Amino acid sequence: MRLQLVYRIVNDYNCPRQLQGYFVLRSDLLGKVLRDNRELHLPRTKTAMGQSTFMDAAAKEWNDLPNDHRNCSSLKIF
Domain boundaries defined on the chain: 2-70
| pLDDT on residue 31 | 67
From first to last of the 78 residues of the chain, give the pLDDT tens digit: 888 888 898 888 888 888 888 888 877 776 666 667 778 888 777 777 777 788 888 999 989 988 888 887 887 777
pTM: 0.74
Is the distance from CB of 2 to CB of 58 less than 8 angstroms?
A: yes
The DSSP secondary structure of 4-48, one letter per residue, reads HHHHHHHTTSS--GGGTTSS-BHHHHHTS--SSTTPBP----SSH
| pLDDT on residue 38 | 79
If one counts every other C-beta atom within 10 angstroms of the C-beta of residue 44, the result is 7
